[in-house]
Structure 1
């Protein structure tokens, strides 16, 4: 009877080994699939963030151009006050730098 149990035990060990190999392959496959999905999600999020940043920068550029055009229009319409304001700012900066 001892002889019969040894082959049964060996077969059971081989079956357990086979199941462990199959399980480890399943875990590897699951990890690989989910890692790929996670990487894709990160790429998508980065792409959306890049697009949003580009859109925000483009909007800021348009607003800056609009403000510059408005300022230029005010200076052209009222050159004397613009020159006086610029001179006043120059005097203030000169006084601040002159104290050093």
Structure 2
């Protein structure tokens, strides 16, 4: 088993934060907004003017960890594919001899 890459995990975490910031919120039930990609991990509820927004938020840590794991695996697959291409792996189908 190979070592765990903290650098790729760092990239996955920052990618999740940036995707959550730039992608639009999902509106459900006309009063709940959800944030996160590919799974929502933060829900904000529409409340009155006098309430604090922090009291109307719900953080799903399991959803956040799952999102980071999915992005980690995607980045890891891209890195491995790039390394294979860069180092010139052998062709998947060798030429036929005649």
* Structure number with bigger Rg: 1
Could you state the TM-score of these two structures normalised by the residue count of structure 1?
Answer: 0.30
- Structure that is richer in helix per residue: 1
The TM-score with structure 2 as length reference comes to 0.31
> Which fold has the larger relative contact order, with Cα–Cα distance below 8 Å and residues 6 or more apart in sequence?
2
